[in-house]
Amino acid sequence: MVETAKIITYSAFGFKISSEFFLPELNPIQCEKCELDLIINRQDLSVLWSKNAQTDSYYYVEENYCMIRVPDVGIYKIENGSTISVSPFEGSDDGQIRLYILGTCMGVVLMQRRILPLHGSCIAINGKTYAIVGDSGAGKSTLASAFINKGFSLLTDDVIAVKLSKDNIPIVTPSYPHQKLWQESLNQFGMKSNQFKPIYGRETKFAIPIKDNFFNKPMPLAGIFELIKTEKCEIEILPVKQLERFPILYYNTYRNFMINRFNLIEWHFEYSSKLVSHLNFYRIFRPNSRFTANELVDHILDVINRK
C-alpha cells in the first residue's frame, strides 16, 4: 500500500504543494503560514467513480474537473488546478502512485491553470532554457543527461511547465531534481544501475536524482528542439517553418488528448501562436544505429551560438 506520511509542504512547478503522500522526488520547504497552490490528499473515490464514469472508461472529464482510473494503482481526481485527491487500490505500490501524481495529474493541473505542459526535458544554456521534445524513446532524457554531464543544468524532465509573462514571453518553471533514464543510457554514461531505484513496472528504467546540476528558478524559453530517430548515418538539424511549428506543439503537449476533452482547443491554439512567434524551432534527426547524445550536444550548441 502506498506510503502516507504526515502532511509535508513541497516546491515544484512554481507551486507550494501540501501532500499527505510522501513525495521524495520533490524539495520540502518550510511553509507554516504560506498560501498553498496545490493540495494532494487521500480520499475514497470509489463511489464517485462508479456514479460518474462508464464501466470501461479510464477518464471522466468535465471543465476544470478530471477523474482518472489506473488499473491496479488507484483513482485520481483533479479539480480546478488546486487539488489532487488519490484513492489507492489495495496492494498498490507507492512508486507507481507517485508516478501518476507527478506525471499525468500534474499535467492536468497545469492545463486547468492554463499553463502549457509540454512532454520533454529542459536544459539551461547561456541564461536561457531550451526544450527537447519528441516521441517516447526518442532520447530526450538521454540527451538532457549528456548536457548535464558537460556541466549544464536541468530545469525539468518529463513535464515542462511553460507560462507566459505579461509581455507574452515564454517562461519555463522548474519541476524537481530528478530524471528518468533507461539501462542502455546508464551504460553509455558509465553509470551503475544498482545505485538507483527502478521506476515501478519498468525495471530497466531508473529514477536519477540530479544533485548539483538542477536550476531551481524560472528561466525564459528560447527554443524547442524536436528529436527524431532516423535510419540515416549522419546527424542533421533543420529549422522549422512557422506553420509547421503548430503541430509540434500540439503533438508534444503532455497528455494532448485532454485538450479537446477540456474544451481547450482555442486556448491551445492561441497559446501556441504566441510561442511560435517568440521561439526558434528545430528538428534534430539522429541516427538510430549508434549512441549520439554527446555528439548532439555539440551540434545543438553550434546552432544556439550561431543565433
Q: Give the chain's domains with CATH numbers.
A: 4-112 (no CATH), 116-306 (3.40.50.300)
Q: How far apart are CA 100 and CA 127, in angstroms?
A: 31
Nearest one of 102, 37, 108 to 78, comparing CA atoms: 108
Q: Which pLDDT score, from 0 to 100, does residue 5 have?
A: 55
- Amino acid type, 72: D
Confidence class for position 2, pLDDT limits 50, 70, 90? very low
Q: Which pLDDT score, from 0 to 100, does residue 1 have?
A: 45
Q: Is the pLDDT of residue 12 over 80?
A: yes
Q: Which pLDDT score, from 0 to 100, does residue 191 have?
A: 86
Nearest one of 215, 203, 218, 230 to 134, comparing CA atoms: 230
Lookup: cell for 220: 525564459
Nearest one of 223, 236, 227, 232 to 280, comparing CA atoms: 223
Q: How far apart are CA 297 and CA 90, in angstroms?
A: 45
Q: Which pLDDT score, from 0 to 100, does residue 214 have?
A: 96
β-pairing verdict for 219-230 and 170-173: antiparallel
Q: How far apart are CA 159 and CA 104, in angstroms?
A: 9
SS3 127: coil
Rounded average pLDDT over 132-157: 94
Considering Cα of 92, then 93, then 98, then 99, what sign does the dihedral take? negative
Q: Is the pLDDT of residue 202 over 70?
A: no
Q: Which pLDDT score, from 0 to 100, does residue 274 have?
A: 95
- Asked if residues 77 and 55 have their Cβ atoms less than 8 Å apart, the reply is no
Conformational region of residue 88, where left means phi above 0, alpha means psi within -120 to 50, and beta covers everything else: beta
Q: How far apart are CA 164 and CA 252, in angstroms?
A: 18
Q: Which pLDDT score, from 0 to 100, does residue 201 have?
A: 63
Q: Is the pLDDT of residue 32 over 50?
A: yes
Q: Is the pLDDT of residue 39 over 90?
A: yes
Q: 188-202, 218-232, 271-285: which has the minimum mean pLDDT?
A: 188-202
- For residue range 155-186, list pLDDT tens digits in order: 999 999 999 999 999 999 999 999 988 888 88
Q: How far apart are the first and last CA of the chain?
A: 52
- Asked if residues 301 and 244 have their Cβ atoms less than 8 Å apart, the reply is no
- Amino acid type, 131: A
Rounded average pLDDT over 292-301: 95
Confidence class for position 246, pLDDT limits 50, 70, 90? very high
What is the maximal distance between C-alpha atoms in the chain? 58
Q: Residues near 69 by Cβ (< 8 Å), separated by ≥ 6?
A: 49, 53, 57, 58, 59, 75, 76
Q: CB count, 10 Å around CB of 171?
A: 16
Q: Which pLDDT score, from 0 to 100, does residue 211 have?
A: 82
Q: Which pLDDT score, from 0 to 100, does residue 197 have?
A: 81
Rounded average pLDDT over 48-75: 88
